[in-house]
Structure 1
């Protein structure tokens, strides 16, 4: 490539508007010899220096001359042996390399991801495959962004090393801009691959980027390197854990096929315990290799109890590799990281993190963004985050050593959940009376709030949905740290949400924990409240025997402590249950006793529900007209207080009374109202049940096409809700296997 020096000379001469003779005179050479240089002859070093001075090139011509005279560098470190997997990523990188090049800028590939994800391994594997595309060689630099060294490599240090590799004299200057200019000049006519491994940040790599489109750069970093996008439009690849198949293949490669095939179940468990992180997988496999008489299932057992200790060897300790990422965190992110290791749920929101840490939300948002950019946290939605399992273990381990106010942090967090849940359920059911006395919020904790209109209610419901998987772990966390009052209050506060969404498993489990918390406190009033809610959950699930036992306990607990309002709800629920069991006498008695108390407390919803139950009693006794009349009064009361939930309950009862009379047209009209009201309530279960019942009634009216359409809508909802029982029953109806059916127990 000797012609590159001549092209540089000609370009600089043209830029300075010099003739051939003019430059020759300045450099002290003949025009004819200068012409030969511009057409490919290499000059001596002294002559090149004279031209460099004459053209004010600041050493760039000397750099080009040196590169033209040197053999090509080949600096790539040895690639990992036994490389497996990452086929999709290799295809992605290959496609990036093969796309039409932008003639103005080099191709820059940025590979980021969490510690231990195998970024360097992938980059080197791919770089070795790409060597034939870069005939002028490869450069490699370890930038020490996250490493045992005290600090990352300085750009001027890296540039000096790269220039020496290119044979360019860089001594006598430590100026980054000058070194970067020499570096770009040395690469200007070269087609080279540059691997910048383990970058700390964009400021470190910016001077190391070539200025020519003939080169390509592969950068690896634990950081997102956001500034890179502003300058270079990089091709980005974020590397995460391996797939299950890739993880098994990696373990098999290290262990050997015979041993891997001997314990396939343990092999799969081993991959999962390692979080499918390549570093952890290799460490675990090497540990097994060094102890050949050790069963894989024994290693899995060790990982279950001492995961980070097991994944530590002298030259590849997972804990140490993780620790390098913490060095570059700002104080807020460094403080938040171990605290998040204590968070028990699968995801945490930025606002919950702020409450946990006792910091303003703006500070927490910056801290979570920093942790996300460092791949210590992973964003899974708007302002929602999660950990990789191994990083969570490491954060929790740090918390045990470094967090001194754990109990106070947990108190802030659970208080935030309690008061946010209170606000959400008030928006969802503003008519519902809440007699629960809650403690004041800890200082600096700011719960969520919503507007009282329909959009606000929808947002509140979405928040509850997003947090559903966190509720039980949060209650458990509160109990572990002695905050038993918060532990029992949270599930009770979420009552409206349980009614609307019916998450049976979480409903029951949260209340089982709440009962334990109440008993720990010796708070019989709290236990009565919790048991009442549990009883109603079992009733709505159709487990009437368990519901009957719990309602009896609830009535006794409420009466024992003199909780008359709580007793009213225990009696009302008992009345619903008695009606389900067709015991009209008990239903009447419980409803009458509850009504007396609801009147005293001016609870219109409670009164309306008891009036509905009395109408149901008349239905059981054969007085269908009387039952309809009472239910119509109850429906009016529910409408007056805008209780959509209550209206749905009463409409269902009225439908059943009409069906008992074989009066199908008015039943159909009421079911239409129920569908509309359930949709407005955003209660998809109630909507699916009403659509199913509507299909039954349409069948009785001989309108089979409409019936099938109604059942199909119900099936779609049941499938969305993952309700296998509901889906199965509707599929049977669609197949013509079942006639119209009676209402399920617990449908009120």
Structure 2
């Protein structure tokens, strides 16, 4: 039996957690090396199908001390687990947005809870045979103490929860056997329970009742006295009142001889108010199951179970609530109440609580005509629901105040609330934030709901439309309805409009629903308070922001407000679910919501718009300049960068690692801002060039995120078409280098020529020689090794005359590559050694040390090729030490070093160690964008992957 989202031929994972932990794949034992992989798989198996954030996994796997590079270590661990599962035939490990989930998996704990829930349903239906059968099937799964073999506080807490569940189930099983009069079996199970816990009062009570019905009342009384004495001695406590009452009944002979029949219930109206279940419910099965299990716990806490789902407009909160409600309706035999509170319905005022109370009371058969006020109605409502099992769905709530009077008072009932804002002030409610669907579920929803089960030629169009929806269920359902009712050519027509940002928002509307109208409700609600009006003003300006993420400093820049005030305003937008958290002190805007914000930004006066945009660009220039200064302190006085402006807030960052993280996170935003700056009626060439100078400097060292860098370099190069600026030569040179790396040699040659022209005009012989070295490297990469080697030899005299050790070091690196390719391994090692000596002598600053790591990595490969593996391994380990110390653990030179170590492990017969290093290197280069997903998966599958062409060495 395979998960509906599985790949053909996949084998399911089965986790045995109720006892010593072990895993099976397709019925065969799955062995995982080390201590951390089993822990990670157990963590995922406890929540099958549900995304687990990497931050949570780190805290669970390293509870005592989070490692310095915890995220990288967790990613490596996930990569190793994926590899192990792939080898076993399982491909259900899903990684996205810094989360990991395990699909196509099930566990004995999951099965146990399902069987226990079935038994409780059978009990409520009066089917005692089915009840005992389900309990026994559940208990047969238990092989010992839960999660045996897994240490750590998180697993201890989960083991404690499972142990408590086992105890409750065992006690419920004994109660069921008592009701069925199977006293021998009661004594058998009670004896086992008392072996595990000699002070168990529930097991003692069950045994006493069974003994009494077998005519062994004296033995029953003796069991009570023994337990009473043991409790007093070990805990200082008396037996609980229920056990004492049972003892007194046995003494007096008043314990019923046969199980008492259930008390008759007064017949009354049984409401069945749930709307029709959604026809297409996809992508949230695991979440729906978890919430259903919580809602059907039967009020174990002594209060109603409340689940409050919150999320942005259109995320499918109502569909989730109604789907869950239908799935658990049999657990609530006294009925299901439903109301749409219209908290965020376009064109509708929210319903008052009093109105809903009177409606519910009428449904439950209570007379409400004489009720003077809503408070009395709420009291009568709590009375009407007391002692019953009723499910109440409060859909589309505005806030907690609207919901609170509609909550029942006692256990047995359950409540599902949906709202945009989290109703955090409702005591005891489980708050469940709802995000968008993943790409695969979104495509399946659009395909099924539209009925467009077309051939492969249409599949790509549907995938493109689903991507434009950004996983938003409302957008997907609106498009599906239009496609279902339209002509065949409607698919292409909608696709064409969706490709235009200006038109896309209008396509998310039909005769009944409009995504823009839904978003307008959030704006309307914010307008009612001063803070809300500030939030609306910021939201308009977010339409000027082109990136997926925004921090409070950028928000402060656009609104000309202090950063703390902007932080509070951003939180107000989050509460209205117009933005969502995207990390510490950072928010993201959904693609469709950003279109809405952009439309609102069009209403800003021209002067306000221009000022906000200028301040936003100033923020990114200042922040990028600060990041570059942390990378290379010499850039403080770089004429190609702007002077610092204290009036404009910049991103907060301390140290090189934070600087790189900021640059990588904000790179797409800065690329788009630069592109838009050139596209304006009066192009802002200065911004496009300067932002390129600030960003390309740090990230060009290792060609991180090469696609985005290429876009930024091309924009900077185009901006250099005007009057000469200090950054012009650098823009052309970096554009040439990136094109060389991507083997676009014609474009690279043109850019090199322009950069050399500028260097010649400036009389900068050092820059001219560096450009010539790069041109010769391009010739080498194009395959003309003879011409390249000759050019390198021609450049050596002037390079040595000027004492340019960096230039000479890289010439020797490239010479070693050519000699190695010619089979002259000894000469290649000698050239590589010269390069290392030169680079070591010149590594006096951050940039030179980073380059030294690259030179040393090249030498490691040459040594490895020559069979000098010990020396090579030492070189690669030195490289790893440098990049880790410099906060560049995600750089391509680190990946190259890992690959070199993997090659050595493989050559020396250590396949597991080689696999670990290959996988870690593959993860890094995939994250940097140096390989596509297909190539990355090929690396993971191949028993002997080839060196990636993306490596520069």
TM over 0.5: yes
Match in the other structure for 1:411 = 614
Q: CA deviation at 1:106?
A: 0.9
Residues 104 and 402 (structure 1 numbering): CA distance in 2 closer, same or farther, change over 3 Å? farther
| Partners of 2:388 and 2:413 within 8 A in 1 | yes
Corresponding residue for residue 50 of structure 1: none
CA distance in 1, matches of 2:425, 2:791: 72
Stretches of structure 2 that go unaligned for 5 or more consecutive residues are 1-264, 527-531, 820-826
Query: Is residue 2:678 matched to residue 1:479?
Result: yes
SS at match of 2:648: coil
Q: Does the CA contact (< 8 Å) of 1:715 and 1:727 recur in 2? A: no
Distance 2:464 2:868 in 1: 59
- CA distance in 2 between counterparts of 1:562 and 1:406 reads 42
Does the Cα contact within 8 Å between 1:424 and 1:449 map onto a contact in 2?
A: no
Distance 1:410 1:443, change over 3 A: farther
| Distance in 1 (alpha carbons) for counterparts of 2:793 and 2:899 | 30
1:710/1:266 CA distance change after superposition, 3 Å: closer
- 2:724 pairs with 1:526: no
| Alignment correspondent of 2:393 | 195
1:647 corresponds to 2:855: no
What is the Cα deviation at residue 155 of structure 1?
3.5
Residue in structure 1 matched with residue 131 of structure 2 by the alignment: none
- C-alpha deviation, 1:205, in angstroms: 1.5
Which residue does 1:687 correspond to in 2? 894
Once the two structures are TM-superposed, the CA of residue 240 in structure 1 deviates from its matched residue by: 3.2
Choose from 526, 530, 535 the match for 2:736.
Answer: 535
1 CA distance for matches of 2:497 and 2:461? 12
Contact 1:111 1:239 in 2 (8 A): no
Does 2:591 align with 1:389? yes
Distance in 2 between residues matched to 1:292 and 1:397, nearest whole Å? 30
Question: For residue 32 of structure 2, what is the aligned residue in structure 1?
Answer: none
Question: 5+ residue gaps in structure 1?
Answer: 1-67, 600-606
In the aligned structure 2, how far is the partner of 1:302 from the partner of 1:542?
Answer: 35
Greater C-alpha Rg: 1
Q: Find the counterpart in structure 2 of residue 497 from structure 1.
A: 699
Counterpart residue number, 1:205: 403
Contact 1:685 1:718 in 2 (8 A): no
**Structure 1 residues 671 and 335, CA, compared in 2 at 3 Å: closer, same or farther?**
same
Match of 2:920 among 696, 716, 720: 716
**SS, match of residue 523 in structure 1:** coil
1:279 equivalent in alignment to 2:449:
no
- Are residues 1:312 and 2:509 paired? yes
Secondary structure at 2:700 match in 1: helix
642-651 or 524-533: bigger deviation: 642-651
**What is the alpha-carbon distance in structure 1 between the residues aligned to residue 812 and residue 456 of structure 2?**
67
CA distance in 1, matches of 2:815, 2:458: 66
Matched, 1:300 2:492: no
Deviation of the 1:396 alpha carbon: 1.8
Matches of 1:728 and 1:246 in 2, distance apart?
A: 23
Distance 1:591 1:368, change over 3 A: farther
The answer to which structure has the higher helix fraction is 1
Match of 2:175 in 1: none
The answer to whether structure 1 residue 608 and structure 2 residue 817 are counterparts is no
The TM-score, its normalising length taken from structure 2, stands at 0.59
Distance in 2, Cα, partners of 1:576 & 1:257? 52
Cα offsets for 1:658-699 (capped at 9, x unmatched)? 899998876765555444334434364323434555777899
SS in 2 for 1:500: coil
Counterpart of 1:474 in 2: which secondary structure?
helix
Change (3 A) 1:562 1:419: farther
- Given that 1:475 and 1:513 are in contact with CA atoms closer than 8 Å, whether structure 2 keeps it comes out as yes
Three-state SS of the structure 2 residue aligned to 1:102 is coil
SS for the counterpart of 1:180 is helix
1:721 CA drift (Å): 1.6
1:542 positional shift? 6.1
CA distance in structure 2 between the partners assigned to 1:628 and 1:242 by the alignment: 50
CA shift digits 1:442-472 (9 cap, x unpaired): 6752113544xxxx22222222232344342
Q: Name the counterpart of 1:428.
A: 631
**Distance in 1, Cα, partners of 2:325 & 2:937:** 54
Superimposed CA distance per residue, residues 685-728 of structure 1 (whole angstroms, 9 cap, x where no aligned partner): 323434555777899xxx83479957863563134322559989
Of the three residues 676, 679, 682, the one matched with 2:881 is 676
- Structure 2 distance, partners of 1:715, 1:131, is 47
Q: Distance in 2 between matches of 1:195 and 1:503?
A: 47
Where do residues 276-675 of structure 1 align in structure 2 (5 Å cutoff)?
Answer: 276-292=471-487, 294-305=489-500, 306-329=503-526, 330-402=532-604, 404=606, 405-430=608-633, 435-440=638-643, 444-451=647-654, 456-481=655-680, 482-494=683-695, 495-519=697-721, 521-523=722-724, 525-540=726-741, 547-560=748-761, 567=768, 569-570=770-771, 573=774, 583=788, 586-587=791-792, 590=795, 607-612=804-809, 632=837, 634-639=839-844, 643-651=848-856, 670=875, 672-675=877-880
Q: Is the 8 A contact 1:572 1:591 kept in 2?
A: no
Distance in structure 2 (CA, Å) of the matches to 1:272 and 1:69: 54
Counterparts in 2 of 1:744 and 1:338: CA distance versus 1, 3 Å? closer
Matches within 5 A, 1:167-182: 167-169=366-368, 173-174=372-373, 177-182=375-380
Query: How far did residue 531 of structure 1 move?
Result: 0.9
Q: How does 1:14-93 map to 2 (within 5 A)?
A: 71-72=268-269, 74=271, 76=273, 78-79=275-276, 82=279, 84-85=281-282, 87-93=285-291
The change in CA–CA distance for 1:729 and 1:542 in structure 2 (over 3 A counts) is farther
SS in 1 for 2:499: helix
Moved more, 236-245 or 376-385: 236-245
Q: 1:149 to 1:189 in 2, by over 3 A?
A: farther
More displaced stretch, 197-206 vs 68-77: 68-77
Question: Counterparts of 2:432 and 2:941 in 1: how far apart (Å)?
Answer: 50
